[in-house]
Homo-oligomer: A and B are copies of this chain.
Amino acid sequence: MKEDVFYGKGMVHVKKDYPDIYEAVVKLNEAAFTGKALDYKTQKLIALAITASNSDDRAMKKQMMSAIREFGATKDEIVDVLRVVLLTAGNPPFVKAMKILYELEE
């Protein structure tokens, strides 16, 4: 189940052409999100925070959609993530992320 959440279309090719990389990425995802103390949803919000702070449009959009659809993250929860992005990464990534969030909402 986890697998179809994380790996976009690009990874279908990787799985077929470079199975050793694919297995490493699966293992890495499992190690990343099988936390001992934080729940899965919180960890996904952390992944969103990191990609948003890098101003990476596509990656943050993908993380937002995943957080909303797979983990039922609410708009207020995502905005609470982006509040921290504003403080620690500045206004440009915050504005970009809010724009993407409102576009997803529509």
Contact = CB atoms under 8 A, between A and B. Distances in A.
Contacts of A4: none
Given A50-B49, A80-B36, A96-B58, A29 B102 contact: no
Interface residues of A, number: 60
Contact of A32 (B38, B54, B87): B87
B24 A28 contact: yes
Contacts of A59: 55, 92, 95-96
A22 B11 CA distance: 23
A86 B14 contact: no
A97 to B, nearest CB: 9
Contact of A89 (B9, B13, B50, B80): B50
Contacts of A18: 79
Interface in A52-83: 53-56, 58-59, 74, 76-77, 79-81, 83
